[in-house]
């Protein structure tokens, strides 16, 4: 059977095990794995602060928020809003 589908024996065993566990061969859903840490108020605050001070850094933005998050979380939130922190030269 592995030869027929051009997969290894180990690959075939993994596929069969997943089919037994999940009851289907359909791919698993993808998406967020946990809750979102930033609130709508935090997102609004970031948007306002960038309008007031376009040269603000990710660290400065992060320190203004109501929750403790990593710089990368702030960066991803800005990317979702199609905003960037490019300094004008």
What does the H/E/C string look like for the chain? Answer: CCCCCCCCHHHHHHHHHHHHHHCCCCCCCCCCCCCCCCCHHHHHHHHHHHHHCCCCCHHHHHHHCCCCCCHHHHHHHHHHCCCCCCCCC
For residues 28-47, give the mean pLDDT: 85
Which residue segments constitute the domains of the chain, with CATH numbers given?
Answer: 1-29 (no CATH), 31-89 (1.10.10)
List pLDDT tens digits, range 47-78.
Answer: 999 999 988 999 999 999 989 999 999 999 99
Task: Give 89's pLDDT tier (boundaries 50, 70, 90).
Answer: low
């Amino acid at each position: 059977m592995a030869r027929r589908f051009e997969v290894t024996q180990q690959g075939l065993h993994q596929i069969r095990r997943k089919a037994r566990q999940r009851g289907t061969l359909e791919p698993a859903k993808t998406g967020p794995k946990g809750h979102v840490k930033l609130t709508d108020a935090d997102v609004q605050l970031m948007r306002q602060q960038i309008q007031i001070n376009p040269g603000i850094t990710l660290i400065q933005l992060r320190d203004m928020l109501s929750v403790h998050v990593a710089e990368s979380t702030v960066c991803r939130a800005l990317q979702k809003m199609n905003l960037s922190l490019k300094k004008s030269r």
